[in-house]
Chains A and B, each alone.
Chain A
Amino acid sequence: MRDRGRIITGLAVFVAVALAPVWQAALHGAARRPDPKIVTTAKQCVEPTAAMRRDHMELLNAWRDTVVRRGQRTYVAADGKTVTMSLTGTCMKCHPNKKEFCDACHNYLAVSPYCWECHIEPKEKS
């Protein structure tokens, strides 16, 4: 064990780097859970909030295919309520604050849906 010093230093550096997320969290505090801001006065979204939170991406995908491929533009919710299937026309009318609503979680989770490469996002103040 002639190289004891070097080996132990190397191991220490490796452990420190490998555990970076742990001590980073200890130093700066764990990342805060995003809190998307809901500005609408409507009591409920198209479907109940829990379902929307969990499945909104599936719902939007289904809307996209139903509108574009089948030309049907009216959605019948589980409770019988009907809405027009439109991202900019329906979703963003109640949630015009894309930065505080959509982006809050998407940035936290590092997902980047490409909706807005084509669909025009609502105008926001800065």
Chain B
Amino acid sequence: MGQDRRGFLKLAGLAAVCATARESLTRLAGAAETEPRSSAKAPKVRWAMVVDPRRCLEQESCTACIDACDHAHNIPAFTNPRHEVKWIWKTRFDEAFPDQDSRYIDPALTSEPVLALCNHCDNPPCVRVCPTQATWKRDDGIVAMDWHRCIGCRYCMAACPYGSRSFNWEDPRPHIAHEDPDFPTRTKGVVEKCTFCDERIDRGELPACVVACKAKALVFGDLNDPDSEVRRLLRTRFALRRRAGLGTQPEVFYLV
């Protein structure tokens, strides 16, 4: 039986498919097998913070947490208000909770400023947009920053719905009141934000703001531990999350 060109090409194509299919099929099967295994590995710790605004308001015009944070992280105080660098700050209630109908909520709560900080979202939009992975979510839930890698594109600032990120429009060094040599400064052109004090947590300490708060209005703990203080508070009291409807899953809770 003579082999024509058409038949030969068909056979050759079939042989090529058979030769490569096995490997790609096993690879596909392998990927399907490993995927659920890695996602099933539950993280041990999930850090979160509970803010009690009523306790905070007991200490009138107190800025202990903000000062402690500024000092611990060499945060510059730029004179131009548009260049302000904020890690933890006070903001108006209706700005912190714009989707909250606050007409009939206790005015003692809504007429006073409320503490705002990075929410360390479970679904952080800043992490999705960062082109260099300079910001990423750690296994313990902290949305961390690697300032070595930040190229200052400010995508994360556009993505963050809470305004938790600040950009160094100028060299921060001359604007730092007391330099702490144990913590780096940033340079011009780098984005910064609250890191939940990951350097202190890695040493087994609490965040600087939590330690500094005299009113015990900031509670820090593990959401995965049902017996933790944060879980106890969230069980016994109702708590708000900032702009929860956006689906970012913020992990800073505000007791009402």
Assuming the A-B contacts A71-B138, A88-B181, A89-B182, are A118 and B147 also in contact, with contact meaning beta carbons closer than 8 angstroms in the complex?
Answer: yes
Across the A-B interface, give the 6 residue pairs with the lowest CB-CB distance, nearest first.
A118-B184, A120-B181, A119-B184, A117-B187, A68-B146, A71-B202
* Chain B CB within 8 A of A10 CB: no
Assuming the A-B contacts A68-B148, A69-B146, are A122 and B185 also in contact, with contact meaning beta carbons closer than 8 angstroms in the complex?
Answer: no
Contacting pair A73 B187 (CB below 8 A): no
Contacts A69-B136, A71-B144, A118-B185 given; 16 further ones with Cβ under 8 A?
A: A68-B144, A68-B146, A71-B140, A71-B198, A72-B202, A73-B203, A88-B181, A88-B182, A117-B187, A118-B184, A120-B74, A120-B179, A120-B180, A120-B181, A120-B184, A120-B185
Query: Nearest residue in B to A73 (C-beta to C-beta)?
Result: B202
Contacting pair A118 B186 (CB below 8 A): yes
Contacting pair A64 B148 (CB below 8 A): yes
Contacting pair B182 A118 (CB below 8 A): no
B140 — which chain A residues lie within 8 A by C-beta?
71
Contacting pair B181 A122 (CB below 8 A): yes
Sample (28) of A-B pairs whose CB atoms are under 8 Å apart: A68-B144, A68-B146, A68-B148, A69-B146, A71-B138, A71-B140, A71-B144, A71-B198, A71-B202, A72-B202, A73-B202, A73-B203, A88-B181, A88-B182, A89-B182, A117-B187, A118-B184, A118-B185, A118-B186, A118-B187, A119-B184, A120-B74, A120-B179, A120-B180, A120-B181, A120-B184, A120-B185, A122-B181
- The smallest C-beta distance from A68 to any residue of chain B, in angstroms, reads 5
Beta-carbon contacts under 8 Å, B135-186 to A: 136, 138, 140, 144, 146-148, 179-182, 184-186
Q: How far is the CA of A117 from the CA of B148 in the complex (A)?
A: 11
Beta-carbon contacts under 8 Å, A94-126 to B: 117-120, 122
A119 — which chain B residues lie within 8 A by C-beta?
184
A68 — which chain B residues lie within 8 A by C-beta?
144, 146, 148
Q: How far is the CA of A73 from the CA of B182 in the complex (A)?
A: 14
- The smallest C-beta distance from B134 to any residue of chain A, in angstroms, reads 10
B138 — which chain A residues lie within 8 A by C-beta?
71
Interface-centre pick from A68, A73, A89, A119 (highest chain B CB count, 10 A): A68
A89 — which chain B residues lie within 8 A by C-beta?
182
B182 — which chain A residues lie within 8 A by C-beta?
88-89
Query: Nearest residue in B to A122 (C-beta to C-beta)?
Result: B181
Query: Nearest residue in A to B171 (C-beta to C-beta)?
Result: A117
- The smallest C-beta distance from B101 to any residue of chain A, in angstroms, reads 40
Beta-carbon contacts under 8 Å, B15-62 to A: none
Beta-carbon contacts under 8 Å, B181-197 to A: 181-182, 184-187
A71 — which chain B residues lie within 8 A by C-beta?
138, 140, 144, 198, 202
A118 — which chain B residues lie within 8 A by C-beta?
147, 184-187
Beta-carbon contacts under 8 Å, A55-95 to B: 64, 68-69, 71-73, 88-89
Query: Nearest residue in B to A86 (C-beta to C-beta)?
Result: B182
A73 — which chain B residues lie within 8 A by C-beta?
202-203
Query: Nearest residue in B to A88 (C-beta to C-beta)?
Result: B181
- The smallest C-beta distance from A97 to any residue of chain B, in angstroms, reads 15
Q: How far is the CA of A68 from the CA of B150 in the complex (A)?
A: 13
Q: How far is the CA of A73 from the CA of B205 in the complex (A)?
A: 14
Q: How far is the CA of A73 from the CA of B180 in the complex (A)?
A: 19
- The smallest C-beta distance from A77 to any residue of chain B, in angstroms, reads 20
B198 — which chain A residues lie within 8 A by C-beta?
71
A88 — which chain B residues lie within 8 A by C-beta?
181-182
Q: How far is the CA of A64 from the CA of B149 in the complex (A)?
A: 11
Q: How far is the CA of A32 from the CA of B144 in the complex (A)?
A: 45
Query: Nearest residue in B to A121 (C-beta to C-beta)?
Result: B181
